[in-house]
Structure 1
């Protein structure tokens, strides 16, 4: 459970990750990190799965085939304050002026990283939450101003899309989906119907796989041979 903002406060911290680190690692550069003065009162974490558009022929109401998992989406709102009303922790490096606070945030989450050719991947830490992602939306609403017009309070809404390196995604997926191509080395005792059942969940595809691999004597597979199993159409 994420801790309440009451009592001793643990600020939500956003830190840019080291480019090309695998897995993503937070930078040790203080200029690439920001701790919020006012924590979110609410936080939304959304997950979504995709399914294929077509229902398989003869489907007995099991529904469409699973396609993939979408990246997680993290959304929250916070307030940046320059009135002096909100106590500032002694160890805080947040600037006093709201515009400077927003610019510090902007440098961490939004500024295009030239060496990596994309905005920063950031790590968001708060209580038990640890989320790696990239900014997808950044909305600022100024709500209080000095007589000069300088803003002294602003509401900020941010949304981040979860990020995984190719290595992390491959390990999680385990490359076992029937919607992917597979190369299998035949083991002693393997049969084509058995391999089709392992990969597709249906042994009846063995004729199509035999044809795809140019097999004529598919009943006697040669151990050590490599067979290719195409994705289901």
Structure 2
């Protein structure tokens, strides 16, 4: 006996799981990073300073079709409603639910940031929509603790370079690099700064690797 094809399944953090009528023909996951323009005086173009990563985004289209009489439903809006509810505020959460998209394994856990309906076919007699294409955009959701855990896996024990921005201080740079503002002296000494209290915007500093002996309280 032929195995029944697995359907894409969406499981929200509140409410019933949704199994799609038709699997998507494709889906896309995009990744992007955030950069800030730092414009040192007299330069031809800005220096790009890495700010952080943006959330991955999943894009996919889901088809709702009621032209098959065996479904017992004529109005495609009725079958589309469980998917539409994924983008609406849940009464218990006071926000749209976090959804896990799975098909042959987990694709992404995220929140629906946009939903678009395209009405493609109508009942000639009543005008009721019988075919709807739903386009979803989903951004990956990670709790603060999950992100902090991920950051901790990225060791600061390597030399990096940063571009000084307006308002930066050595303690603020040390806080961003090491998680400890008091660790500013190794940066000052490594870069042989004559006046650590005065940092010119656009200055490129090397942030040295830290070793356990240099960590505060070690």
Q: Fold match, TM over 0.5? A: yes
CA distance in 1, matches of 2:76, 2:94: 29
Q: How far 1:207 moved relative to its partner?
A: 5.3
Structure 2, unmatched stretches of 5+, are 157-161, 163-172, 198-213
* Paired residue total: 180
Alignment of 1:32-47 (within 5 A): 32-47=16-31
CA distance in 2, matches of 1:11, 1:169: 30
Conserved in 1, the CA contact under 8 Å of 2:100 and 2:106?
no
Q: How far 1:114 moved relative to its partner?
A: 3.4
Q: How far 1:36 moved relative to its partner?
A: 0.7
Judging changes above 3 Å, is the alpha-carbon distance between structure 1 residues 8 and 58 closer, same or farther for their aligned structure 2 residues?
A: farther
1:167 is the counterpart of 2:145? yes
Conserved in 2, the CA contact under 8 Å of 1:56 and 1:64?
no
Q: How far 1:116 moved relative to its partner?
A: 2.8
Judging changes above 3 Å, is the alpha-carbon distance between structure 1 residues 192 and 120 closer, same or farther for their aligned structure 2 residues?
A: same
Judging changes above 3 Å, is the alpha-carbon distance between structure 1 residues 56 and 157 closer, same or farther for their aligned structure 2 residues?
A: same
TM-score, reference length from structure 2: 0.66
Conserved in 1, the CA contact under 8 Å of 2:87 and 2:114?
no
TM-score, reference length from structure 1: 0.63
Question: Which of structure 1's runs of 4+ aligned residues deviate more than 6 A?
Answer: 56-59, 223-226
Q: How far 1:82 moved relative to its partner?
A: 0.8
CA distance in 1, matches of 2:194, 2:144: 31
Conserved in 1, the CA contact under 8 Å of 2:61 and 2:136?
yes
Determine the structure 1 residue equivalent to 2:196.
Answer: 208
CA distance in 1, matches of 2:115, 2:30: 17
CA distances 1:63-113 after superposition (whole Å, capped 9, x unpaired): 52321000001001121011117x87xxxxx97741111112122x12202
Determine the structure 1 residue equivalent to 2:115.
Answer: 138
Alignment of 1:152-163 (within 5 A): 152-163=130-141
Q: How far 1:185 moved relative to its partner?
A: 7.5
Conserved in 2, the CA contact under 8 Å of 1:40 and 1:76?
yes
Q: 2:6 pairs with 6, 10, 14, which one?
A: 10
Q: How far 1:205 moved relative to its partner?
A: 5.6
